Amino acid sequence: MNTQSNTTAPMLGAQSVAPADIPALRQFRLLVQREIWESRSLYIAPLAAAGLFLLGFAISMIFFPGRLRAAVGSARLHNVINQPFDIVAVLIMGVTFLVALVYCLDALYSERRDRSILFWKSLPVSDTATVLAKASIPIVFVPLFAFALTVAMQLLMLVLISAVIPGTGVTAGMLWNQLSLFHGWHVLFTHLVTGHGLWYAPIYAYLLLVSAWARRAPFLWATLPLIAVGGAEKIAFNTSYLAAILAGRIAGGPSVDGAPAGTNMDAMTPFTLTQLMSSPGLWIGLLVAAAFLAGAIRLRRHRGPI
Amino acid sequence: MACIEAHGLRKVFGNNVALDGVNLKVEQGRILGLIGPNGAGKTTALNAIVGLTPYEGTLNVLGRDPWSQRDQLMRDACFIADVAVLPRWIRVSQLLDYVAGVHLHFDRRKAENFLAKTTIKHSAKVRELSKGMVTQLHLAMVMAMDAKLLVLDEPTLGLDILYRKQFYDSLLNDYFDGGRTIVVATHEVEEVQHVLTDLMFIDHGHVVFSCSMEELEARYFEVMVQPDNLEAALALKPIHQRQVFGRTILLFEGAEKRQFEELGEVRTPGVADLFVAVMSRQPGREQGAVQ
């Protein structure tokens, strides 16, 4: 550990030592680490879902050689091989997204409910650093973890499949060609980082804001006002702009050439950086997210234990 | 420069004035006891000092404005709110890692040495510890921070007497070195009075009494009056009077000690008795209604 450097200052002489700062990166690493210690569901839930999937997949290996033999030479072969690999990617994506939403709703609420905010605030960590570290969990770390877990799962599945293909007429080379995992990982990585990270950022930031604000039931505060406002809009103007905005944010992604990104992994092509930068929806979303986070920082500064 | 300096400190919650123009000056090396009934404004004052709440008026703590510079201030100041603020999910080892990672002046080995004297295991979670052990843990963390100011808000609330005594003993023997400043708000007046160098009573957001312990000894006398001398003693205008086992005990302020010696047994009043005497003279309070 790097505590050694702290022990060198003698007790009384400490005042005269120029107070160097804790490096921002080291502090940030600890803040993120703290979040993961507290919210173990962030990784336990996806791991449990992946484990369960793997069990099902292992069982399916009993029937898999038969399905492969039947599909060899036909166009269905591609689908038979790729389907479980797509399913596991979508499954992990879905679970990590849900876990990220739950995390955000709890992040600035539970520390007030259990009064531990008084302890956290007694340490030399700013509200800005705290909130940004919390926001980085769903925006950066959960998508990266989802990617790593999916890759690990797909490699495990590849090993399992390789063990059962002898005698089916499918060679390892055919299998690899059909799967085109590297392309798939490229698509998945881009999708997770831009879609689940950046495109969803305003959703996470909104939930963090509610989490910093609500005195109780943050889930209801996060959802009911949206439903109420949407309903009022429908009654008053017979329009559904709010609903359309929300649906577009949840179902869509950074649009390329005006068309939202599809959900079919196979058909997806990774965005280039320029395509991404030119998507106005992404930038608007990030601006909104920044505003929500600024609100959450302000609220955390003012709010005490509930 | 004073460690804490406040002028006209004011804080209003809705219709409730929690602090109403508090002036306060705490020099470095003092141990100030902030004593007052529930709702007097003690917690609000301490929260303002450690930057947890905005306020009107001016407040300077270790040369900083606490509200706008809380994170910088907390490099040199520590705060123990009460026994229940350590997160229940955290492990002792994680707590050590975290504080060592974010606090510049945290001496991890010191905290570990202190914990070694307790039965707290590094693998334990806070939720598994008893209330007294959580306080020991929090104190271990705070004592390992090389801070100039320690702010304690009811730090031993709900603990049994053994833990309370140990808490203040540790604080005095292992922590206080004359260079540090401590502000403690508490109800347990009798247990802290031998620790304090200064005393401040607060009520309805006002400072109603303030003196150093030396002043207290020099200016206040408690006289257990002989029944025959009662009338003569009352003529000297005691600030408070109470009955114990049929004897009358009178509290006097600001006179010569020998004046009282012929009236009965003279001693320095306890802080608790002085508190009752001061509080019962506050408008709107019945005599003896406090504590």
User: Could you report the predicted ipTM of this complex, rounded to two decimals?
Assistant: 0.90
Q: How many CA atoms lie within 13 A of B163 on its CB side?
A: 18
CATH architecture classification, B4-204 = 3-Layer(aba) Sandwich (3.40)
Amino acid at A151: V
**pTM of this structure:** 0.88
Considering the domain boundaries, does residue A177 fall inside one?
A: yes
Total structural domains within chain A = 1
Measure in Å the smallest separation between the Cα of A42 and chain B Cα atoms. Answer: 15
Do the chains contact at A114 and B177, CB–CB below 8 Å?
Answer: no
Domain ranges of chain B: 4-204, 215-280
Q: Which fold has domain B215-280?
A: Alpha-Beta Plaits (3.30.70)
Residues B250 and B223: beta-carbon distance below 8 Å: yes
B interface test, pick of A122, A126, A127 with most B CB neighbours within 10 Å: A122
Considering the domain boundaries, does residue A16 fall inside one?
A: no
Considering the domain boundaries, does residue A6 fall inside one?
A: no
Per-residue pLDDT, A175: 87
Contacts with B214 (C-beta within 8 Å, 6 or more apart), sequence order: none
B219: pLDDT strictly greater than 70: yes
Residues B92 and B144: beta-carbon distance below 8 Å: no
> CB under 8 Å, gap of 24 or more: what pairs does B266-269 form?
B266/B221, B266/B222, B266/B223, B267/B221, B267/B222, B267/B224, B268/B216, B268/B217, B268/B220, B268/B221, B268/B222, B269/B216, B269/B220, B269/B221, B269/B222
Over residues A280-304, mean pLDDT = 94
Do the chains contact at B101 and A22, CB–CB below 8 Å?
Answer: yes
Do the chains contact at A122 and B107, CB–CB below 8 Å?
Answer: no
Share of chain A above pLDDT 70, in %: 86
Considering the domain boundaries, does residue A285 fall inside one?
A: yes
Considering the domain boundaries, does residue A206 fall inside one?
A: yes
Q: Which of B47, B87, B107 sits opposite A114 (nearest CB)?
A: B87
Q: Which residues on chain A place their C-beta less than 8 Å from a C-beta of chain B?
A: 1-3, 6-7, 9, 11-12, 14-15, 19-22, 26-27, 29-31, 33-34, 37-38, 111, 114-116, 118-127, 129, 302, 304
Q: How many CA atoms lie within 13 A of A24 on its CB side?
A: 5
Contacts of A36 in chain B (CB under 8 A): none
Amino acid at A286: L
CA distances from A52 to A92, A145, A185, A215 (A): 11, 18, 22, 37
**Token pair for residue A77?**
């072969």
Considering the domain boundaries, does residue A19 fall inside one?
A: no
A interface test, pick of B69, B137, B146 with most A CB neighbours within 10 Å: B146
Per-residue pLDDT, A10: 42
Write the pLDDT tens digit of every residue in A143-197. 999 999 999 999 999 999 988 888 888 888 888 888 889 989 998 998 899 889 9
Over residues B262-269, mean pLDDT = 85
Return the ∠ at Cα A86 (arms to A81 and A88), rounded to 5°. 110
Cβ–Cβ contact B90 with A under 8 A = yes
CA distances from A95 to A41, A91, A155, A195, A268 (A): 11, 6, 19, 15, 21
Considering the domain boundaries, does residue A12 fall inside one?
A: no
Residue with tokens 């234990």: A305
A interface test, pick of B46, B98, B112 with most A CB neighbours within 10 Å: B98
Measure in Å the smallest separation between the Cα of A218 and chain B Cα atoms. Answer: 20
Measure in Å the smallest separation between the Cα of A265 and chain B Cα atoms. Answer: 39
Per-residue pLDDT, A255: 55
Amino acid at B93: S
The boundaries of the domain holding residue A153 are 34-302
A252: pLDDT strictly greater than 80: no
Considering the domain boundaries, does residue A7 fall inside one?
A: no
Measure in Å the smallest separation between the Cα of B5 and chain A Cα atoms. Answer: 19
